[in-house]
A and B are shown apart, each in its own frame.
Chain A
């Protein structure tokens, strides 16, 4: 439905893959105000559709591919799109975000979102050219790796500049952690590539020449300019991320004792310098690169097999480095490329392999995998993607493997989704985030509190104090940033530069010392966000929405949208049986101190969970109350 707000194209399309028919899905301005776009819009659509009886590999599992209203408006780092559906990895709601250009081109074709229902009767790919939705036979593409497939799509469409997403062999073979690739970027997590694979849909392309409307073009352009200058002057978004990427965190994590090592049995890797961001920058990085419209440009470009390709993120460096006891950086670059080509999540792949190595070491499962032994891994990756031999079992992920072979206490996942590279026993707020995150063990959806616990600010990383309330704030904030179509990294500039560049200054030390004691104040803002009916000078996002969309916005409304989204996702998950009992971490992280001489070095999860549920207004069992659901207009 057409919108009075700019930024939106005004159309959400329901694509029935079974009948190859397309109809418009009603979506109103009131819904745009309540849910903004992206993952929250997807959650609303899925909340209305899902009953709790659907399974991930079924025609009833709708896949929502949603853009944000800021995509295409020139807002910094705003070309992201979201894919949401039930995850085959976790069995609950999943959303996976991607920096590829598909979302931008989908809007240029005239659409804010696609909903895919049903299942193609044979291998198909979908070509969208503005009003045309053309289904094509995909037998020729089936089996192709992701870059080869995308090259072929360019040839088949006859276009140079267009949007595309596809799955690789892993998605076709229903690997539980298969991702979706667009350009060089991945909607990597939660196995949504396998959902497309089950639906027999190999790829989608989008092309169009429509204009993306902007409310006040002159002021929007001026605001973007100001914001980009701010980001480029900020020590994180203007220096560290462009110059070192996320890889720059490896050394810092080592010093903090939070670098996952040997399947999270430790937080420091002896050979960390071999796989560090410094070494990557000095010896391997060709240049940095950014997603469309991104001034931060955190991506690395490295050399693999004579080609310039995307380099690894921190998660991949940590999890295919110290976590499997590998110190060969070139191998990580090669594997990172290979896994993208196969269309497989590097985080879950690496974690599953680390679990299998430990299971083998402990005599639970004779699988030929050993810590530090890496020569066989390229074949293992390929065999997982094609479900050959013993790797058919590895394609199921660490949760299912540990249920079959034992070793649950060292299967490092939450709700079936493997954790990122941050070992949380020395950053306990991050541990809480992993456990309560709506999509399972995700560092970002969990609230990324580690940014307060050493990677940015330096509040007491072992105390549970204030962690629950801060986690809620960050989760809600990032929820809305994501829904608007922007990258979460734009939020890092929320921290004034001087707090980061003067870690030993009196003011910074005061902030760090005070942080554990401000839980009550944070809770007040969380509970009554509308009191913050202002634009914060260091948070450019809200003004951007007003100028580009013409939608009334302030910090309080922005936070409330985030709370609505996060709670609605939880509400959907409760339909599938999720409760406090599922908000957990493996015993290794909650019961075994990282430092045997310091009993504090484990995650005091139950204490923090209780406070977290109180902060959110959920009951003691982690279920959002009726009153809250009504207040947030979810029901």
Chain B
């Protein structure tokens, strides 16, 4: 099971804080999230972290991995 956490506008727009999914890659996670109604454009605009480390869509996942998706931010 993969835990996906949402941050930034992605979370405000989707109303989702967390999803538990079965997936072998980030790309599969994206496919399932699109089916759940998340905007493909918003997902592809996200910074991806897997277990706290920067990752890409092709990143392989294993059971227990934690994926964090963050829409772009700046300014403080």
- Tell me, yes or no, whether B76 is within 8 Å of chain A by CB: yes
From 479 to 521 in chain A, residues with beta carbon under 8 angstroms from any chain B beta carbon are 489, 492, 495, 500-504
Q: Produce 1/0 per residue, A241-259, CB < 8 A to B.
A: 1011010110110010000
- Tell me, yes or no, whether B36 is within 8 Å of chain A by CB: no
Chain B residues contacting A448 (CB-CB under 8 Å) are 76
- Knowing A278-B12, A504-B57, the reply to whether A235 touches B72 (Cβ < 8 A) is yes
- Tell me, yes or no, whether B75 is within 8 Å of chain A by CB: yes
Contact A252 B57 (CB under 8 A): no
Q: Produce 1/0 per residue, B59-76, CB < 8 A to A.
A: 000000000101111111
- Knowing A278-B12, A282-B12, the reply to whether A240 touches B74 (Cβ < 8 A) is yes
Secondary structure class of chain A's binding surface, majority of residues: helix
A292 to B12, CA, bound (A): 27
Q: How distant is A499 from chain B, measured CB to nearest CB, in Å?
A: 9
> How many A residues touch the partner, as a band?
35 or more
Q: How distant is B16 from chain A, measured CB to nearest CB, in Å?
A: 11
Most chain A CB within a 10 A radius of its CB, from B7, B44, B49, B73:
B73
Contact A249 B76 (CB under 8 A): yes
Contact A313 B76 (CB under 8 A): yes
Q: How distant is B29 from chain A, measured CB to nearest CB, in Å?
A: 14
Contact B8 A236 (CB under 8 A): no
Chain A residues contacting B49 (CB-CB under 8 Å) are 255
From 17 to 59 in chain B, residues with beta carbon under 8 angstroms from any chain A beta carbon are 17, 41, 44-49, 52, 54, 56-57
Contact B70 A251 (CB under 8 A): yes
- Tell me, yes or no, whether A309 is within 8 Å of chain B by CB: no
A456 to B57, CA, bound (A): 19
Contact A252 B76 (CB under 8 A): no
Most chain B CB within a 10 A radius of its CB, from A248, A249, A456:
A248
Contact B9 A315 (CB under 8 A): no
Contact A278 B7 (CB under 8 A): yes
From 15 to 38 in chain A, residues with beta carbon under 8 angstroms from any chain B beta carbon are none
Q: How distant is A66 from chain B, measured CB to nearest CB, in Å?
A: 24
Chain A residues contacting B74 (CB-CB under 8 Å) are 236, 240, 249, 451, 455-456, 492, 495, 500
Binding site for B on A (CB under 8 A): 235-236, 239-241, 243-244, 246, 248-249, 251-252, 255, 276-278, 281-282, 298, 313-315, 420-422, 443, 448, 450-451, 455-456, 458, 489, 492, 495, 500-504
Given contacts A236-B73, A255-B7, A443-B76, 5 further A-B contacts (CB under 8 A): A236-B75, A278-B8, A492-B74, A492-B75, A504-B48
Binding site for A on B (CB under 8 A): 7-9, 11-12, 17, 41, 44-49, 52, 54, 56-57, 68, 70-76
